[in-house]
A = this chain, B = another copy of it.
Amino acid sequence: MPVAPAHSLEALIQALRRLPGVGAKSAARMAYHLLQRDRDGALQLSQALVQAVDHMRHCERCHTFTEAPICAICQNPQRDATRLCVVETPADQAAMERTGAFAGLYFVLMGRISPLDGIGPHDLGLKKLLDRASDGVVQEVILATNFTAEGEMTAHVMAQALKARGLRATRLARGVPVGSELEYVDLGTIAHALAERR
């Protein structure tokens, strides 16, 4: 049970614990560090949090984070609009971009199907993806969700729904090591898996 914050230090430690992967001891260390050695950093982080919450929205076309209604990639006329790559997160999208092997557009799910967390296809905007892929320009939807159990399930569900609409869905080749998350895979492996997509 959370204890009522005795003072602003306790409140800060509890607020830091809401960050993913940060337990009680890490949160305390972070708070002490900021107050003792980096008060400028604390104020900068405070500002950055408010700014990001105020300004970041989702791209109307691909759903990734952006400050404009449409993100820079979706706005870029040089990108190949016939290929749409579906990824779980902006971090996965960034990994894909770093390979330099994909010139198409993206659809960012901002998650994955996860029955345990109560996240189903509709929470991930499946309908929005189907509409996006049915624009008459997209010829291939490349499913680049992670090769974890949840990512595979997500790809399977998306593939079924896309094929039911007569759309072509491919999957990154299984060159990506099973059980791993795209963000942590080396670029050559991702590029190879992209070339051999099935």
**Interface, chain A (partner B; CB < 8 A):** 7-9, 11-12, 14-16, 18-21, 25-26, 28-36, 38-39, 41-56, 65-67, 89-91, 94, 110-111, 183-184
Contacts and interface: CB of A to CB of B under 8 A. Distances in A.
- Complex copy number for this chain: 2
A8 B44 CA distance: 12
11 contacts: A8-B51, A11-B51, A15-B48, A15-B49, A16-B48, A18-B45, A19-B34, A25-B184, A35-B56, A36-B110, A36-B111
B9 A56 contact: yes
B110 A11 contact: no
Contact of A52 (B11, B53, B91): B11
Given A39-B53, A91-B28, A33 B12 contact: no
A25 B183 contact: yes
A170 to B, nearest CB: 26
Nearest to A46: B49
A96 to B, nearest CB: 14
A49 B42 contact: yes
A27 B27 CA distance: 14
A48 B18 CA distance: 12
Nearest to A7: B67
Contact of A30 (B19, B32, B35, B50): B19
Contacts of A43: 49-50, 53
A9 B41 contact: no
A74 to B, nearest CB: 15
Pairs A-B, 4 closest by C-beta atoms = A15-B48, A46-B49, A18-B41, A12-B52
Contacts of A111: 36
